[in-house]
């Protein structure tokens, strides 16, 4: 069926067609319609709005992809941190920061926080 339609189309393009059958009449109507100029006119800023719409959709896809990779990166970081803490027997200690308590101008809250641990 497809080959027949292609053959009919080639015949119509060359102008060697006979007006037999419903397919030939359908092709004749299609080709007649394609020869006429459309009567509809697009709005003045149609192209600008179309480009803006396409850009906004592309930007939304980029943002979605960026958020995906940010999530993958954060998840990988947390997994790597857990593995590193598990393999090194890390113990959390704020003892290295006690020298801040002796500095002038250190806030009392910071002193209490650091001296408590």
87 inside domain: no
DSSP conformation letters of 60-91 = HHHHHHHHHHHHHHHHHHHHHHHHHHHHHT--
111 inside domain: no
45 inside domain: no
Reading the chain (117 residues) residue by residue, the pLDDT tens digits are 467 667 767 777 776 666 667 767 777 787 778 778 878 888 888 889 999 999 988 888 888 889 999 999 999 999 999 999 889 988 877 676 666 566 666 666 666 666 665
Contact yes or no for 27/17 (Cβ under 8 A): yes
21 inside domain: yes
| Residue 10: domain span | 1-40
Report field, pTM of the whole predicted structure over 0.75:
no
Number of structural domains (the chain) is 1
Give me the pLDDT at residue 17, please. 63
14 inside domain: yes
Phi, psi of 69, rounded to the nearest 5 degrees: -70, -30
79 inside domain: no
25 inside domain: yes
């Amino acid at each position: 069926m497809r080959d027949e339609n292609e053959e009919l189309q080639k015949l119509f393009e060359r102008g060697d067609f006979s007006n037999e059958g419903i397919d030939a009449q359908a092709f004749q109507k299609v080709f007649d319609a394609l020869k006429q100029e459309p009567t509809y006119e697009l709005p003045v800023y149609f192209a600008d709005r179309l480009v803006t719409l396409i850009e906004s959709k592309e930007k939304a896809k980029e943002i979605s992809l960026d958020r995906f990779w940010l999530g993958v990166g954060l998840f990988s970081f947390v997994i790597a941190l857990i593995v590193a803490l598990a393999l090194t027997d890390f113990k959390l200690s704020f003892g290295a920061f006690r020298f801040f308590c002796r500095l002038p101008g250190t806030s009392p809250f910071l002193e209490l926080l650091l001296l408590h641990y």
